[in-house]
Amino acid sequence: MERGMNKAALAFVFLMGLAPLSPTKAQDDFGMWYEVAAEKKLLKGLNVSAEMGFRTRNNTRTADRLNFGVEAEYKIIKWLKISAGYSLLDYNNKEKLSLKQDNVRANKWTPSYWGIRHRVNVSLSGSVDIDRLSISLRERWQYTYRPEVANKKYDIEEMTWEPVLSKHKHLLRSRIQLSYDFPHWKFDPFVNVELFNGWDLQKVRYQAGVEYRYRKQHIFALTYRYQDNRNDDDQETDIHLVGISYKFKF
Amino acid sequence: MKKNLIGIAMLSLILSACKNDDQYDMSNFKSDIEIVFNGTTATVTGDTNGFVSVNGADVTVNGANNTTANMTITLSGTASEGSLLVYNIRSYTLVLKGVSIHNSDGPAINNQGSKSLYLVLADGTTNTLSDGTTYADAPVNASGTAIDQKATLFSEGQIYFNGTGTLNVNGNAKNGVASDDYVTILSSTINIMVASTGSNGIKANDGMFIKGGNLNIDVAAKGARGIKNDARTEISGGTTTIITRGACKIETIDGITDTTSCAGIKSDSLFTMTAGTLTITSKGDGGKGINCSENIEFNGGSMTVVTEGDNKIGKPKAVKSDTGIILRGGYFHAECKKSWACDNGSDSDEPEDHLTIVGTPVSKTIGKRLVEVSF
């Protein structure tokens, strides 16, 4: 009975994480994230993994991106890991309409288009365990390169199509996470907050979810995310996301 | 069974993510409006955005909230009593495709948009705009202000003349063509006739640029200018012929009498010519060929300016500048029957002091009443 009460109290704490810390707006979007991953332990402390993902936006009516990534992670010491990864993203860039200097007349229109992005990242993760509660901090440098794409931007006045020029972007992502390992229970809840910093704060992602392990090899996760976009140049609206993932551990 | 249902639900969610979330498509950025005049009526097609309203043959295109559509308006037919009035927040193209518009009490075409007006004279067409001798009270705009009506063809914004057709403008009340911005002629044939009841041939506030085409201006009013420009004037191509027929205009305002002489070109800032042909004939008393407040710099092309008028009221000059007349190339001919051919503000009696020649001309004749220099 007491154990049940404890679980319920902790579950309540994690459910509180479901509520984003900033107020949501009526025009917020909703989307889904689907991820499938496989992980293999190569050596002691060294794991490699590969994952595929698919995301939607526009209340799940529009495909947002496809991604394929590989990552290697090495445990330096008990509480510190380092990892590096590469992702190939096929991104459904959102429509953009830029205005002229008068801020009234439309200048250039870029309808939505699928375009490739290359992304690399290097992360350091530190964690401490307090009883069954784990607190971790991950600092990730992320570099994304978007190659030039021809004839995707329409100059309204000139009635001509122009290329969308190549672009690269550096981000420092800082994530703090709490997770709890219930004894004799296969569901492990977690909450985290992640800040995306360019030269300024670009977005904040709040997450809460639960992992379910089946026979140690199969890990399922159901996640709720709220993404508060501040100065993100992809002009994304704030979005609620539900993520479903599966990881197979060799 | 449950697993299957969950799988099917997820699959359907994924498959349903195939809708485009764009708010715009190409139709948002294009508006091709065709207006055909027929006597005292007009028919409109292609007005998908609902910009156009018609009253008889008076057509109003209201794109005051048009932030996206790149508009093209094509005019054809004949309006015996009609007009086109355009409010548009964006620049747009106006194609004259064999149109004739007469408006007895206002401008034939009045562009109230402050952005560029690309006026295209369609290939092989002749187009005619004319007005009456007096204008009715101007309509008021959305701000409640009476709009400007400064010419038979008036534009608040820049006008670019283009195309290979012909435009005849017959002005009877005010200017033939006027812009509160600048006027650029790229091509086409433009014939502007302004009666003695009117004013200037072309009035530009912020510049006059002739780069090609054929421009013929004939103005008859007292004190009228073929081209009156409050800013810089550049001729770099085309063939321009200007005739002024009026004498000086004498006005007494608040007890002060002012005399305004005619001029082929009156420029309140730098005048430069690098190519093309310019021919000006001034016939009235005190008339001037070119009258410029700053330097006249002639670097190329062919310029022939003749003032035939008397000097009973005004002081005729073929080429007059308040600061300097500088010749560097081309063919320059200035001739004045009754006074100095060239006047750069100098008090000297020596004709050579009235202009500056840079370089070595092939031939030169420099006299008081005739200056002819060929490089």
Q: What pLDDT, in 10s, does the model give residues B65-119?
A: 998 888 999 999 999 999 999 999 999 999 999 999 999 999 999 999 999 999 9
Q: How far apart are CA B222 and CA A208, in angstroms?
A: 84
Would you state the pLDDT for residue B311? 87
User: Does one domain contain both B202 and B325?
Assistant: no
Per-residue pLDDT, B369: 96
Answer whether residue B236 is part of any domain.
Answer: no
Query: Scanning every residue of chain B, which has its alpha carbon at the shortest distance from the alpha carbon of A59?
Result: B17
- Give the model confidence (pLDDT) of A45-81 as tens digits: 999 999 999 999 999 999 999 999 999 999 999 999 9
Q: Shortest CB distance from B21 goes to which of A62, A97, A105?
A: A62
B10 vs A188, residue with greater confidence: A188
User: Which residues neighbour B214 within 8 Å (Cβ) at sequence distance 6 or greater?
Assistant: B188, B189, B190, B238, B239, B240
- Residue found under tokens 């009045």: B110
| Helix, strand, coil percentages in chain B from 3-state DSSP, rounded to 5 | 5, 55, 40
Inform me whether the pLDDT recorded for A8 exceeds 90: no
Average pLDDT (B118-144) is 96
What does each C-alpha distance from A242 to A54, B5, B180 come to in angstroms? 12, 18, 58
Put the strands of the sheet holding B109-111 in their side by side order: B52-55, B57-63, B82-88, B109-111, B151-155, B175-179, B202-204, B225-229, B263-267, B288-292, B317-321, B342-343
On whether both B179 and B260 belong to a single domain, the answer is no
Q: What integer pLDDT is reported at residue A1 of this predicted model?
A: 41
Contacting residues of B for A62, CB less than 8 Å apart:
17-21
- Give the residue, B203 or A20, on which the prediction is more confident: B203
Alpha helix stretches (DSSP H) within A108-201: none
User: Roughly how many angstroms between the first and final C-alpha of chain A, as a whole number?
Assistant: 37
CB contact under 8 A, A154 and B29: yes
- Structural domain contains residue B189: yes
Domain stops at, among B175, B206, B237: B206
Q: Residue B13: helix, strand or coil by DSSP?
A: helix
Q: How many CB pairs under 8 A join A and B?
A: 65
CA distance B189 to chain A (A): 25
Contact assignment for B16 to A106 by CB distance below 8 Å: no
Range of the domain at B143: 27-206
d(CA B208, CA B358): 25
Contact B24 A109 (CB under 8 A): yes
Q: State pLDDT tens for residues B235-254.
A: 999 999 999 999 999 988 88
**Beta-sheet strand order (sheet of A106-110):** A96-99, A106-110, A149-155, A160-164
Residue B163: its H or E element: strand B159-163
Residue A211: predicted pLDDT: 94
In a domain, B223, yes or no: no
* Predicted pLDDT of residue A184: 83
Instruction: Please check whether residues B164 and B284 belong to one and the same domain.
Output: no
CATH class of A2-21+31-249: mainly beta
B203 CB neighbour count, 10 Å cutoff = 24
* Minimal-distance CA residue of chain B relative to A108: B68
Q: In a mutagenesis test of the A interface, which of B19, B21, B31 is the best target, namely the one with the most A β-carbons within 10 Å?
A: B21
Return the HEC string of A60-78: CCEEEEEEEEEEEEEEEEC
Q: In the prediction, which pLDDT does A185 show? A: 84
CB < 8 Å to B90, chain A: 105, 157
The structure tokens listed for B142 are 């959305």
- B110 in a structural domain: yes
Domain count, chain B: 2
Query: Would the pLDDT of B13 be above 90?
Result: no
Q: Closest by alpha carbon to B217, among B143, B153, B293?
A: B153
Average of per-residue pLDDT values in chain B: 94
The CA distance from B188 to the nearest CA of chain A, in Å, is 21
pLDDT for A23 beyond 50: no
Domain match, B344 and B252 both? yes
B96, part of any domain = yes
> Is a pLDDT exceeding 50 seen at residue A18?
no
Do residue B21 and residue A58 have CB atoms under 8 angstroms apart? Answer: yes
* Distance from the Cα of residue B222 to its chain's centroid: 20
Q: Is the per-residue pLDDT at A181 higher than 70? A: yes
Instruction: Quote the pLDDT of residue A130.
Output: 94
| DSSP bridge pairs for B28 | none
Say yes or no: B188 and B293 in one domain.
Answer: no
pTM over 0.90, yes/no: no
ipTM of the complex: 0.81
Residue at B362 is within a domain: yes
DSSP secondary structure letter of residue B162 = E
Q: B22 falls in which pLDDT band (50, 70, 90)?
A: very high
- Residue B146 is given by DSSP the state B
Does residue A212 carry a pLDDT above 70?
yes
Cβ neighbours of A214 in B, within 8 Å = none
The CA-to-CA distance between both ends of chain B, in Å, stands at 97
Eight-class DSSP state of B353 = G
What CA–CA distance (Å, rounded) separates B196 from B226? Answer: 13
Query: In angstroms, rounded to a whole number, what is the distance separating the alpha carbons of residues B334 and B365?
Result: 10
Interface test with B, best of A54, A58, A61 (most B CBs within 10 A): A61
Does residue B192 fall inside a structural domain? yes
Contacts 24+ apart (CB under 8 A), B131-134: B131/B102, B131/B103, B131/B104, B131/B105, B131/B106, B131/B107, B131/B170, B131/B171, B131/B172, B131/B173, B131/B174, B132/B103, B132/B104, B132/B105, B132/B172, B132/B173, B133/B172, B133/B173, B133/B195, B133/B197, B134/B105, B134/B173
CA B25 to chain A, closest CA, distance in angstroms equals 8
pLDDT digits (tens, 9 = 90+) for B218-227: 999 999 999 9
Cα distance between residue A51 and residue A155, in whole Å: 38
Query: Which pLDDT value is given to residue A24?
Result: 53
The amino acid at residue B17 is A
Interchain pair A105, B24: CB under 8 A:
no
Position B14 in a domain: no
* Tokens encoding A122: 């290097």
Closest chain A residue to B68 measured between Cα atoms? A106
Q: What is the percentage of chain B residues whose pLDDT exceeds 90?
A: 86
Predicted local distance difference test score (pLDDT) of residue B258: 87
* Amino acid (1-letter code) at residue B39: G
The structure tokens listed for B160 are 């670019």
